[in-house]
Amino acid sequence: MTRRGADLVVDALVAAGVRTLFSLSGNQILAIYDATLGRGVEIVHTRHEAAAVHMADAWGRLTERPGVALVTAGPGHLNAVSALYGASMAESPVVLLSGASPRAQAGRGAFQEIDQVGAARPVTKAAWAASEAARLGEDVARALEIARRGRPGPVHVSLPGDLLEARVDDAASAAGAAAGAPDAAPPGEAAIAGALALLADAERPLILLGPAMARPLRRAAVERFSRLTGVPALPMESPRGTNDPWLHGAATRLADADLVLLCGKKLDFALRFGEPPAFQAGCRFVQVDADPGALRPGGRVALALAGEPAAMMDRLAEAARGRPWRHAAWGEAIAAARTTRPAEWDALSASTRRPIHPLRVCAAIQPLLAGGGVLVADGGEFGQWIQAGLEAETRLINGLSGSIGSALPMACAARLALPGRRVIAALGDGTFGFHALELDTAVRYGLPFVSVVGNDARWNAEHQLQVRHYGAARTVGCELAPSRYDLVAAALGGHGELVERPEDLEPALARALASGRPACVNVAIDGVAAPTYTNGGH
């Protein structure tokens, strides 16, 4: 009996538990579409390839299982690549499967023939082109495994169209994941004891978490260690790094730390490379990372340990039991600083002024996040106000890439991944323009969520930077129209509301929720600069 290569691809996806593909159709992947029929695999058909990857990214972050995007060759693939960068910086397990020009025509100028692997390689953990129809299942299984192992991240496989259509004898097909590189031997007990001693000897130790370690499954190991020792832990997943407005006053306390354990967090731009004034000159660092290439031993890095960070934190917690710790007061001070907002914010949250201050928008949204609501925050200055002014059990932000535009597709994926949860997407007006038509996707698939657009008719993050660097008289290319984004939602079959007065916020949000449809609440806001807590800048 023979089967198509496309059937082997779907076999591997089904075997791995993948039941949802985020996709935009095209010539070179139609065989995979056909192969999904009767297999219990749903294709969520998006309006742009980048949106398909954003959805797979959100799925990966929320479920800790690889999200899979399926796009066509050439321009379809290239549209998707930009979103891979966001997934890479967010350490999100994503697999991008792209149709490709026929392997038999390689080098002859085939339709949409480009070096897809070369385009994807800089923003992926691994990228390759399938070379044998009989091994397509193995290619897919291997990609799914690489995406989730160690530091999670995106993986790309190009699937030539002729291999997808090729007939393969069942006996000749390869199934299952190819053996990957073996994990490095975990650090020995002496290394664990050394890390623990450094933490115990420090006066003000601090744990900083990379994006993957900040998510619930992995973060649980860190929280166990913090409860035992009192050593505080903070996530570092914002493009503004040490000036992340969600950190509130804790951002100003980073420079007080005398030892920092980097738990799956690179010593990169987000940490100002560990240099003053973000950190004191005498601060030392301990690195724990699944990627040996991220370790930078020597100098201020007192110890560098290669290993899966969550497993390492479990080992540290076990070794910490029964040992006296003296960091409870320091940990409580960091926790208090993280949740302490500037005194003047209370007045701004209740303000009746027009245009509406972003904190007044946050005050209207916060009750909607009670009981496990999911917050998707995206955009420049408004996105930063949202992150500063709202607390959510589960949140998705644009992440260390600093890219914008992912909010609407991510909200769609959040509704699919967490169907019983309320989803609120708060985004800037510039951000809305990237993937506005994914509201059509949400309507077609019955995915109700509320998007709240902060409309200041401006690319405000760039405006604020230009004002700071060049002066208010030299701002260029920042103005937008005060467009009726709510009418766009209504035209696509969703629900739309325009809000220009603070007192209308809560009723408009209530109507949007009650509509049971994808909704856009378009709010005329004051284009104020986002809050700043440190001297580190954006």
Question: Among 339, 370, 396, where does a domain finish?
Answer: 339
Q: Is residue 437 in a domain?
A: yes
- Shared-domain flag, residues 438 and 507: yes
381: helix, coil or strand? Answer: helix
pLDDT digits (tens, 9 = 90+) for 7-57: 999 999 999 999 999 999 999 999 999 999 999 999 999 999 999 999 999
- Shared-domain flag, residues 127 and 239: no
Contact 168, 133 (CB under 8 A): yes
* Cα torsion through 61, 423, 335, 239, rounded to 10: 60
Selection from 449, 448, 408 nearest residue 428 by Cα: 408
- Shared-domain flag, residues 234 and 133: no
Residue type, 20: T
- Shared-domain flag, residues 112 and 206: no
- Shared-domain flag, residues 287 and 309: yes
CATH of the domain at 281: 3.40.50.1220
pLDDT digits (tens, 9 = 90+) for 263-290: 999 999 999 999 999 999 999 999 999 9
User: Max CA-CA distance within the chain?
Assistant: 73
Q: Is residue 330 in a domain?
A: yes
- Shared-domain flag, residues 314 and 426: no
- pLDDT averaged over the chain? 95
Report the pLDDT value the prediction gives residue 175, as an integer from 0 to 100.
55
- Shared-domain flag, residues 316 and 406: no
Selection from 178, 172, 173 nearest residue 141 by Cα: 178
- Shared-domain flag, residues 371 and 394: yes
In angstroms, rounded to a whole number, what is the distance separating the alpha carbons of residues 485 and 32?
Answer: 36
Q: Is residue 535 in a domain?
A: no
Q: Is residue 183 in a domain?
A: no
Q: Which residue has the tokens 């354990």?
A: 261
Q: Is residue 324 in a domain?
A: yes
Residue type, 230: G
- Shared-domain flag, residues 374 and 279: no
- Shared-domain flag, residues 92 and 156: yes
Question: Among 301, 316, 339, where does a domain finish?
Answer: 339
pLDDT digits (tens, 9 = 90+) for 303-322: 999 999 999 999 999 999 98
What's this model's pTM, rounded to 2 decimal places?
0.96
Q: Is residue 313 in a domain?
A: yes
In angstroms, rounded to a whole number, what is the distance separating the alpha carbons of residues 154 and 8?
Answer: 21
- Shared-domain flag, residues 97 and 142: yes
Q: Omega into 277 within 30° of 0, i.e. cis?
A: yes
pLDDT digits (tens, 9 = 90+) for 336-387: 999 999 999 999 999 999 999 999 999 999 999 999 999 999 999 999 999 9
In angstroms, rounded to a whole number, what is the distance separating the alpha carbons of residues 317 and 403?
Answer: 36
Query: CA 325, 328, 331, 335 torsion: positive or negative?
Result: positive
Q: Is residue 145 in a domain?
A: yes
Q: How many domains, the chain? A: 3
- Shared-domain flag, residues 335 and 355: no
**Tokens for 158?**
């190009």
Selection from 486, 490, 458 nearest residue 382 by Cα: 458
Residue-range definition of the domain harbouring residue 492: 345-524
Name the pLDDT band for 329 (thresholds 50, 70, 90): very high
CATH of the domain at 396: 3.40.50.970
Question: Among 321, 339, 357, where does a domain finish?
Answer: 339
